[in-house]
Amino acid sequence: MDMLLRTTLCTGLILAASHNLTYAEQTQSDLAQSLSQAVSELSPRYSQVALLAMDMANRQVIYSQQAETLFIPASTQKLLTAVSAMAQLGADFRYVTELWSDAPIRKGHIAGSVYLRFSGDPTLTQADLKAIFASLVKQGINRIDGHLYLIGDKQEQLQAPGWVWDDLGICFAAPVSSYIINQNCIYGQFSPSTANKPSQVSLRTGSYGIKISSDAVFDQKAIREFCQLDLMRLGQNSYHLRGCYPGAEAIPLAIAVTDPLKFAQDTLTFQLKGEMLLAGKVQLGASLPKKAKLIASHSSAPLPVLLDTMLLKSDNLIADSLFKQLGKSYFNTQGSFTNGAVAMNRILTDLGIDLTNAKIVDGSGLSRYNLLNAKQLAAVLTLMHQDSRFSPLMASLPQAGVSGTLKYRLGYNKPPLKQQVFAKTGSMQGVSNLAGFIRLPQRSDTLFVVLENGMSPDVKKQHKMSFNAEFLQHLISILQLPSPTTEVVNIAIN
C-alpha cells in the first residue's frame, strides 16, 4: 500500500478516535459532506428539491435535505398503493366479473333475464366478456329470452379531486368505474387530407358507440404561428377534434371514454348479436335478484401480478381501481376516492408509517392535491425492504436500463446507473421524482428519495439528464469509494 495513503488512513483513525467517532460514523460524515458539495453544484436554480439517502444495513441516514417538506409525489404515490393493497386485500385477491340468472333453463334457452355484475376490474377486456358468454354456449345455452342487466356501483366518482382537466380525455386518466372494458380507452388515427378527401379520424374495431367529428386540419408545411389540436368531450362518448396539427404524417389517437356504462352497454349489445340471441336489451340493472345463481364468471390475475404491472408500467387505472377497492374492503361499502383515501391513511398508519400533514387523494398520483414528504416515502420503502409481507414488491420496481419506466430513461440506460437502480418514477408537468434503491455488488442496499417540484417545462425540451440522475450518479460514485474499514484491515496485515 502507498505510504502516504497508509499515513492518511492512520491519521484518520486517530482523529476519529479522538472525537469518539466510529469508523462507520466517520464514513457517513464524509459521504454527507461529499454529497452536500455535489448537491450545491447540481441543484436546479428554479425548482424545489428534497433528498434523502439511507444505508439499509444500519438504517443510518447518509444525506438529507428538506426531507420533511411536503411535495407533490406524482406516481411515487403508487408505492403507498402497493403496500396498502397487499396489507388490506392480500396476495390472493382477484377481481371477479360474474354472470347470474334467476330464470330456468329450457331447451338451451334461459327463460328470463341475466345479470352481469362488474367489479371494477381494470384489466377486463372485450375478449374476456366474449369468453363469459362463450362458456354459456359450451353449457348448451344459445339464447337469452329476457334482458341483460348490467350491475355496478351507482353515482360513482369517476375521477379524483385534483386531476387536471386537460388530461381527462387522455387514456392515462381514463374514468375509474366499476364498468371497465379495454381500460376504458379507444384508439384511432388522425390522417391528413389527400386529393380526394379531407383530413379525417378513423377508429379501430371495438370502439362501439364512440362518435368523433372533426374539422381539424394538418399544417403540412408548419407555417402557422399557433397550431394545436384540441379534443372536445361532448358527453355520451361523443367528441369533436378541432384545431390543427403541424406535420404531414398521420398521428395515433388514444382517447378515454367519458361514459363507461354506455360504453359497456354498446359493447355488449354488439357482441351479443354475434355470440347468441338476446331477445331483450342491454340495460342498467339495480341489483341481483335474491334467488339468482352464478352461471359464468371471469377472474383477473391475482393481486401480485396486478401490482407488478402497476409499478413497472406506472398504470394509473390499476392503481386507482385498487384505491377504491381499499375503501370498499376496509369500510364494507361502495368504494370511492373519498373512503379509499381514509382507508389508505389508516392502513399505513397501523403499519407504522407517520403520515402527519400528508394529503392522500388517489392511488395513482394523478391528483395535484396529493402531498407527501421524502421521509414518508422512505418509510414506505423501508417497509417494503424489511417486511416479508411486502418484500416481493421489490422485484416489481423498474430497473434502470432494463425494465418498466426506467428502461429507456436518459441517464438510466447506461452506466453507472444501468442495472444498479431499482425505483418508482413520478413524473407530470413540473414534477420529476424518483424513489427506490441502489444495489451495488458487495455492499448493502442504499435507499433514496429524490423529489423535484416546480420544474420548468422548458427543462424537458432540452433533453438533458435529470437532476435525480445526476444526483444518483454522484451518490453511486461516493458509495463505490474504498471502505476505510477495509483499508484498516490491510494496514494491520501489512
As annotated, the active-site residues are 75, 78, 314
CB 193 within 8 A of CB 199: yes
Helix, strand, or coil (residue 86): helix
Question: Residue 326: left if φ>0, alpha if ψ -120 to 50, beta else—which one?
Answer: alpha
Residue 113 grid coordinates: 333475464
Between β-strands 282-284 and 148-151, what pairing exists: parallel, antiparallel or unpaired? parallel
The position carrying cell 388490506 is 88
Residue 374 grid coordinates: 421524502
Residue 129 grid coordinates: 366478456
Give the distance, in angstroms, between the CA of residue 206 and the centroid of all CA atoms in the same chain: 25
DSSP designation for 186: E
Task: Show the CA angle centred on residue 431, arms to residues 425 and 435, nearest 5°.
Answer: 30
CB 228 within 8 A of CB 246: no
- Cα separation of 446 and 421, whole Å? 10
Question: Residue 120: left if φ>0, alpha if ψ -120 to 50, beta else—which one?
Answer: left
Q: 17: how many CB neighbours lie within 10 A of its CB?
A: 12
Residue 78 grid coordinates: 403508487
- Cα separation of 315 and 121, whole Å? 13
